[in-house]
Amino acid sequence: MSGNSGRDTAPGLFLTLEGIDGAGKSSHLDALEALFRAQGRAVVRTREPGGTALAETLRGLVLEQSMDPLTESLLVFAARRDHIVQVIEPALLRGDVVLCDRFTDATFAYQGAGRGFDDGVLATLEQWVQAGRAGRPATVLLQPHITLWFDLAPAIAAQRLAGARVPDKFESQPVEFFSRVAQGYAARAAADAQRFVRIDASQARDQVWQQVETALVARGVLGGTPR
């Protein structure tokens, strides 16, 4: 699925964080950035949808307006294309660490599994947007090297989210929607077990962080190794 093992020439590390709303992934971004900076790596911290002026504008539309799932998918992939071309690809070619809060797995989980949109269409859009970028051959998709998947039962995530802030379009969905999104993530993880690291996000925050650090050490991306 990742289709890039050993075939990308860009020296950077592409690391993504995924999980349903309320799983707590974003709370580890500061520590992750600090960890890589302490290793002497340049870090580009970014998010999807977003990461460029255009993509942030598209994010506002996607999170605030109701639209049919194809329109939504086209907008998130349009945002992704701009983000890849302007930010992710140049950073990976420079050798930076790209720390990205969500990427294409979120589209398969939210638009695909959550909203029931056609996976085949999403896979086509993924090809159009991600093939041949950042040093890959024309037929190879740009994918994260490592995806930290913060896995949490939807009912617990809903409790954590309740009252935290004004919910956006997705956060205000019922728990059944997030059950489907969680199944979507599980399916993506099963299809690309090499890339995904499952983090048990039900544990206390410190223990969740321990899992993240342990996973990165196990993957050999800390301690001076290039990736």
Catalog residues that contact ligand TYD under the rule CB under 6 A.
21, 26, 48-49, 63, 76, 101-102, 106-107, 110-111, 170
> In the chain, where does DSSP find H-type helix?
29-38, 53-64, 69-83, 89-94, 104-106, 119-130, 154-161, 175-191, 205-218
Q: How far is the CB of 39 from ligand TYD (least distance, A)?
A: 25
Residue 140, token pair as written in the block: 């190879």
Which CB sits closer to ligand TYD, 4 or 73?
A: 73
Beta carbon of residue 62, minimum distance to ligand TYD (angstroms, whole number): 7
CA distances from 32 to 5, 41, 49, 81 (A): 23, 11, 20, 25
CB contact at 8 A, 24 and 201: yes
Nearer to ligand TYD among residue 171 and residue 227 (C-beta): 171
Give the whole-angstrom CA distance, residue 164 versus residue 45: 24
Q: How far apart are CA 28 and CA 88, in angstroms?
A: 20
CA 16 to CA 122: how far, in whole Å?
19
**What's the closest the beta carbon of residue 16 comes to ligand TYD, in angstroms?**
10
Taking the complex as a whole, how short is the minimal distance between the CB of residue 111 and ligand TYD, in angstroms?
6
41/62 with CB nearer ligand TYD: 62
Least separation in angstroms between CB 107 and ligand TYD:
4
Residues, the chain? 227
Both tokens assigned to 153: 């039962």
CB nearer to ligand TYD: give 48 or 82.
Answer: 48
**Alpha carbons 48 and 177: distance in angstroms, whole number:** 20
Q: Which is nearer to ligand TYD, 70 or 222 (CB)?
A: 70
CB of 59 to ligand TYD, least distance (A): 7
Nearer to ligand TYD, 113 or 140 (CB): 113
CB 76 within 8 A of CB 107: yes
